[in-house]
Amino acid sequence: MNAKILKILLKKEVSLIKRNPIIPRLIVGMPVLVMLIIPLVATLDVKNVEVVVVDNDRTELSRRMVADMDASEYLSVTGCYFSYDEAFRQVEEGEADAIVTIPKDYQKDLTNGEKPELDLKANGVNATKGTLGAQYATMSVANTVARWQAEQGVSLSAREFGTVNLYNPTLDFRNYMIPALMVVLLIIICGFLPTLNLVSEKESGTIEAMNVTPVGRLEFVLSKLIPYWAVGILVVTVGMLIGWLVYGLVPEGNIANIYLAAILFSLVMSGLGVFIANRSATILQSIFMMFAFIIVFQLMSGLFTPIASMPRWAQCITYAIPPRYFIEIMRSVYLKGATMTDLWVQYATLSVFALLFSLVAAMTYRKRA
């Protein structure tokens, strides 16, 4: 390992990246655009779930329950009916997503210390909206009952239902998306850039000028990997800044943990990129190969759909997909404030992948054909 040679190679890479008319703008512009637009448009948040109520109790409490539901950001009560059939017609006609039925004597039973049950039916056609709507209604009712009981001086024994979503109380999809988007950006930027960089050296013939010199394989490959640590750090910084300034989302945990994971993951992606470049003769080939990896990385790593809901065999495969660990780290540090001790398995696995991919990158780079 010759430090002098590595230094001049890095200087060359940095000069070439800086002088490229597109790449520097892309490195900053792409994260900015993605972070500004995607969290606003790609949302699975359910708002304005339309609820119809069948109020058989008609007491102060039942009216308060309805008013509180209607006041919630997530629910809107579109009608109160005397019979279930009338309410059901609204669902059938697509006017309502859920029916909340308050039984007769609800308030009285509750005052007597009994445990009356609410009936909640959700329209399953739009599964997400239905189930989340039912959950929101449950939470809203639970809150109203709790407040009422407190006012009445009744013990809180009846408060049996109610879901509390830890770490992301309103299930705001943005909070789930923002850390994931940074992962997407790193996958794309730190995966594609080194690949394209190296293959374009092949196409322009400069790689041959390098291969005919005594430059070491390790120095040369490192000069292709190291700049993307810096790029990875930059991308994550831009992402976190926008997350904070625009969406008010700040990591609960230590920022250093996020940076460490980003550096490790950049190394994984750029190592993969260099490996693909080593195996491709043209830019076209390398782009297709990279896409194949990126699709699997994005769809099977738990970025958009939870790993736990994948079939068992697919879950096994995800252990071999490096972004899985990075996503776990990002979400846990961002939303739960997890520490390095909590996540040591993920960090260790990511480090092994980083080492492995860098080694493969160095080993598949051939100076002689």
Q: Which residues bind other proteins (CB under 8 A)?
A: 4-5, 8-9, 12, 15-16, 19-20, 204-206, 208-215, 367-369
Nearer to other proteins, 312 or 366 (CB): 366
Q: Give least dist CB 294 to other proteins, A.
A: 27
Q: Give least dist CB 6 to other proteins, A.
A: 10
Q: Give least dist CB 11 to other proteins, A.
A: 8
Q: Give least dist CB 210 to other proteins, A.
A: 8
Nearer to other proteins, 76 or 211 (CB): 211
Cα–Cα nearest to 118, from 132, 97, 139: 139
Who's near 287: CB < 8 A, 6+ residues apart? Answer: 192, 195, 196
**Dihedral over alpha carbons 183, 184, 189, 192 (to 10 degrees):** 120
CA-to-CA separations, 360 to 43, 194, 240, 325, in angstroms, rounded? 38, 14, 31, 20
Q: Give least dist CB 218 to other proteins, A.
A: 12
Q: Give least dist CB 73 to other proteins, A.
A: 53
Distance CA 33, CA 26 (A): 10
Q: Give least dist CB 274 to other proteins, A.
A: 18
Distance CA 48, CA 79 (A): 14
Nearer to other proteins, 11 or 115 (CB): 11
H helix or E strand, kind and range, residue 80: strand 75-81
Distance CA 189, CA 183 (A): 10
Nearer to other proteins, 177 or 226 (CB): 226
Nearer to other proteins, 117 or 203 (CB): 203
**Dihedral over alpha carbons 131, 135, 137, 139 (to 10 degrees):** 180
Q: Give least dist CB 227 to other proteins, A.
A: 15
Q: Which residue has the tokens 């850039």?
A: 193
Q: Give least dist CB 4 to other proteins, A.
A: 6
Q: Is residue 337 a contact partner of residue 347, using CB atoms and an 8 Å limit?
A: no
Q: Give least dist CB 221 to other proteins, A.
A: 14
Nearer to other proteins, 97 or 219 (CB): 219
- The amino acid that residue 271 corresponds to is G
Who's near 173: CB < 8 A, 6+ residues apart? Answer: 43, 44, 45
Using the Cα atoms of residue 297, residue 300, residue 305 and residue 306 in order, give the sign of their dihedral: negative
Tell me which DSSP letter residue 95 carries.
S
Nearer to other proteins, 1 or 41 (CB): 1
* Cross-strand bridge partners of residue 64: none
Nearer to other proteins, 47 or 217 (CB): 217
Nearer to other proteins, 112 or 206 (CB): 206
Distance CA 324, CA 201 (A): 32
Q: Which two tokens stand for residue 343?
A: 């996540």
Nearer to other proteins, 19 or 312 (CB): 19
Who's near 283: CB < 8 A, 6+ residues apart? Answer: 196, 199, 200, 203
